[in-house]
Structure 1
């Protein structure tokens, strides 16, 4: 019986992969053209949202989004979410309404087609290279000053070995750029992604995303970074624990 369910899981994974790639390929000509000028890149943001919405619909995964406070779609925020699954990136591109840039690993650029889009539309960082980290932080601050939000996983990658326990300590980047620009930090709880895609193989499960109330940084300085890290952790982690199955 266990083998049968495993087979179903692999078939479901194949179905999801088919739709994931098909939708991406169909939208890619528009994405490619939109990447050629800075003022056109916002079109990529809308394409990604369409891509994600169709994908989760075809995968048959109910997507529930909860907002604990109203967010201004035209305002710049630093969005911080837990990171337990490769599905997280696609989901963030689907549910965040604000025009934003990911701050993510430079290794993504090696993925065919997707890597080109990521490199042109978002911000890459090689965490092993101090110069790359500095450059990425500078680009992120510039994006925030222009009114574009930043999405970042403060754990720095998928490092947890005990889901849904987040890895500590958080990286400084998200909090440094928020303080530098005095923009709010929005904690996001991705409740179910590690249940859907704990590895390469996918399992059907409803998906819940919770946008928590923004944490203000006005008047904060670099001395407050550790406290901001604690606040974000103490918002997300109890939520993940609450919905643990």
Structure 2
């Protein structure tokens, strides 16, 4: 009986997600085709996340800010990644940023087109794609956008919330551009929507901790390594604190 109810709940979640997307799609298209409105997409993502979580979890969300990101400032947001819920969870941050996502997302009907036009996609297996995404990130930062990364490179951990190794791309960008990284800890999403087939959603509380910005300490490879270690340590310590509750 419980399994049947969870299946119904999961289908309900998919329908809610799709309906919100359909309602917001005309506004996303404006952001795609009218360049001065491009920044509106981040706010639309925020609205989408807020409405989705309201209907899915009866507004049972908790976002804890150690320090709120300042409006108009550029950051790189780096979060652990264990669930497809992580993208809308980061959307709860009402700031102007773009995601770095896998190139395979382009294949998702309609949504993939929108995502590829409003965010930055990268094929990690292609050096040319990685180079082009690097140039795109630099361009978006110059335009005033922050960037959101999942430094693990995808949902890869076999034992969540334990993390796999971080890729250095986001940290190298932070060092090159001399902008701070904001670590983000998402402790529970792997329980709410596990990365297992068939995807099954579970009721619960969406939580996210947005940490204080961490600035690069100098330039070069040493600064990249130190920044990566500092960000990882912050997220790991927070995950451990949640597990010990």
User: TM-score range with shorter-chain normalisation?
Assistant: over 0.9
Q: TM-score, normalised to structure 2's length?
A: 0.94
Selected match of 2:115 from 107, 113, 118: 118
Q: TM-score if structure 1 supplies the norm length?
A: 0.94
SS of alignment partner, residue 120 of structure 1: helix
Give SS of 2:33's match.
coil
Work out which of the residue numbers 114, 132, 137 in structure 2 matches 1:135. Answer: 132
Native 8 Å contact 1:123 1:139 kept in 2: yes
SS in 2 for 1:155: coil
Residue 160 of structure 1: aligned partner:
157
3-state SS of the aligned residue for 1:209? Answer: strand
Matched, 1:26 2:23: yes
What are the Cα deviations for residues 39-91 of structure 1, in whole angstroms up to 9, with x where unaligned? 21112211111111111001125110101123202100000000000111122
Runs of 4+ in 1 over 6 A off after TM superposition: none
Q: Verify the 8 A CA contact 1:141 1:180 in the aligned structure 2.
A: no
Match of 1:190 in 2: 186
Q: Distance in 2 between matches of 1:112 and 1:84?
A: 23
User: For 2:158, what is the secondary structure of its paired residue?
Assistant: coil
**Paired position in structure 2 for 1:70:** 68
* 1:96 alignment counterpart: 93
C-alpha contact 2:43 2:95 (8 A) present in aligned 1: no
Asked whether the equivalents of residues 183 and 218 of structure 1 are also in contact (C-alpha less than 8 Å), the reply is no
Give the 5 Å matches for 1:164-243. Answer: 164-168=161-165, 170-199=166-195, 200-217=199-216, 219-243=218-242
More moved, 126-135 vs 143-152:
143-152
**Per-residue deviation, 1:218:** 5.6
Shift of residue 222, structure 1, vs aligned partner: 3.2
Once the 2 structures are TM-superposed, how far is the Cα of residue 226 of structure 1 from its aligned partner?
A: 1.1
Q: Give the number of equivalent residue pairs.
A: 240
Mapped partners of 2:221, 2:37: distance in 1: 34
